């Protein structure tokens, strides 16, 4: 584990939490992040991974899932957090799938196969050590991992619209349209494949409005939460 350095986004020498002294220890927590589109969930995840010196997976998960499952990466991208109910589409796309020979997979829609491939990749990644995984029902896949913490990042609509407008150079109306579309896709995917409800507080360990403290303030809050969580874990 590399030494935690001082990053420009988080000044470690100025006491993240007033009156407390940071304890340097071996990080052992897997962090999953569900997020509203435009809430800075990915950026917050990247900064957490940087701070703790652990791997970060968002789109990176798709590449690894493709490599380990035998599906082409483009196919996995096409189904990424987007369930399809089109029987014809699944039937056609299924002719391009390979890598699964078990009889139980023969009649399974391609979208289900892709989900299971990602599901297994997420569990394998988590078993390798601490990391940050964004989206893709990772909290559901890792429900039995005692060393995991499941977060959901949301934000005020105005803040999300401004972020999307700036990032994608869109008008306010187009930004709102894009936001709503992406969130509907994520909600549909999560609710379809998991036994929980996307964005609902009881589906996660901690839900945070990133508009309140801002991106870096939210990172600091989560760092304190994770470090306190680790202190309560039994020694190995």
Mean of pLDDT values over 174-179: 98
Q: What is the DSSP string of 142-197?
A: TTT-TTEEEEEEE--HHHHHHHHHHHHT--HHHHHHHHHHHHHHHHHHHHHHSSS-
27-31, 76-80, 129-133: which has the minimum mean pLDDT?
Answer: 76-80
Query: Within a domain: residue 22?
Result: no
* In a domain? residue 15: no
Q: Tell me the per-residue pLDDT of 90-101, one tens digit each, with 9 for 90 and over.
A: 433 443 344 444
Nearest one of 81, 79, 114 to 182, comparing CA atoms: 81
With respect to residue 111, please indicate whether it lies within any of the assigned structural domains: yes
- Flag whether 79 is in a domain: yes
Greater confidence (83 vs 27) lies with: 27
Range of the domain at 125: 28-229
End-to-end CA distance of the chain: give it in Å, rounded.
17
Residue 7 lies in a domain: no
For all residues of the chain together, what is the average pLDDT?
Answer: 81
Q: What is the pLDDT of residue 67?
A: 81
CA angle centred on 145, ends 144 and 147, rounded to 5°: 145
CA distances from 58 to 81, 99, 121 (A): 11, 23, 12
CATH number of the domain where residue 180 is located: 3.40.50.300
Q: Where are the beta strands (DSSP E) in 62-164?
A: 131-134, 148-154
Confirm whether 196 is domain-assigned.
yes
Least confident of 91-105, 118-132, 146-160: 91-105
Tracing tokens 């890598």 back to the chain, one arrives at 99
Of 6-10, 25-29, 101-105, 161-165, which has the strongest mean pLDDT?
Answer: 161-165
Q: What percent of the chain has pLDDT over 90?
A: 59
| Total count of domains within the chain | 1
Token code pair at residue 227: 């470090």
Q: What is the pLDDT of residue 129?
A: 96
In a domain, residue 118? The reply is yes
CB atoms within 10 A of CB 156: 13
Q: Is the dihedral of CA 143, 149, 152, 184 positive or negative?
A: negative
Answer whether residue 223 is part of any domain.
yes
Percentage of the chain modeled with pLDDT above 70: 76
Chain position carrying tokens 């899932």: 65
Digit-coded pLDDT (tens) for 36-75: 999 999 999 999 999 999 999 998 887 888 788 777 777 7
CB 58 within 8 A of CB 32: no
Closest Cα partner for 114 from 175, 56, 72?
A: 72
């Amino acid at each position: 584990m590399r030494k935690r350095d001082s990053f420009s986004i988080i000044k470690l020498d100025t006491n993240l939490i007033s009156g407390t002294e940071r304890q340097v220890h071996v990080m052992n927590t897997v962090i999953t992040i569900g997020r509203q589109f435009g809430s800075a969930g990915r950026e917050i995840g990247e900064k957490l991974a940087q701070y703790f010196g652990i791997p970060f997976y968002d789109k990176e998960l798709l590449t690894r899932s493709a490599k380990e499952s035998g599906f082409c990466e483009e196919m996995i991208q096409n189904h990424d957090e987007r369930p399809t109910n089109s029987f014809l589409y699944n039937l056609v796309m299924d002719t391009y799938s390979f890598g699964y020979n078990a009889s139980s997979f023969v009649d399974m829609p391609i979208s289900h196969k892709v989900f299971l491939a990602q599901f297994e990749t997420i569990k394998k990644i988590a078993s390798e050590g601490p990391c940050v995984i964004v989206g893709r029902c990772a909290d559901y896949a890792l429900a039995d991992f005692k060393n995991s913490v499941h977060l959901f990042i949301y934000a005020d609509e105005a803040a999300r619209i401004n972020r999307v407008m700036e990032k994608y150079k869109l008008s306010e109306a187009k930004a709102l349209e894009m936001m709503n579309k992406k969130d509907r896709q994520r909600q549909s995917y999560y609710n379809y494949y998991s036994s929980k409800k996307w964005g609902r507080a009881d589906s996660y360990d901690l839900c945070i409005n990133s508009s309140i403290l801002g991106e870096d303030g939210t990172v600091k809050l989560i760092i304190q939460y994770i470090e306190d969580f680790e202190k309560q874990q039994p020694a190995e």
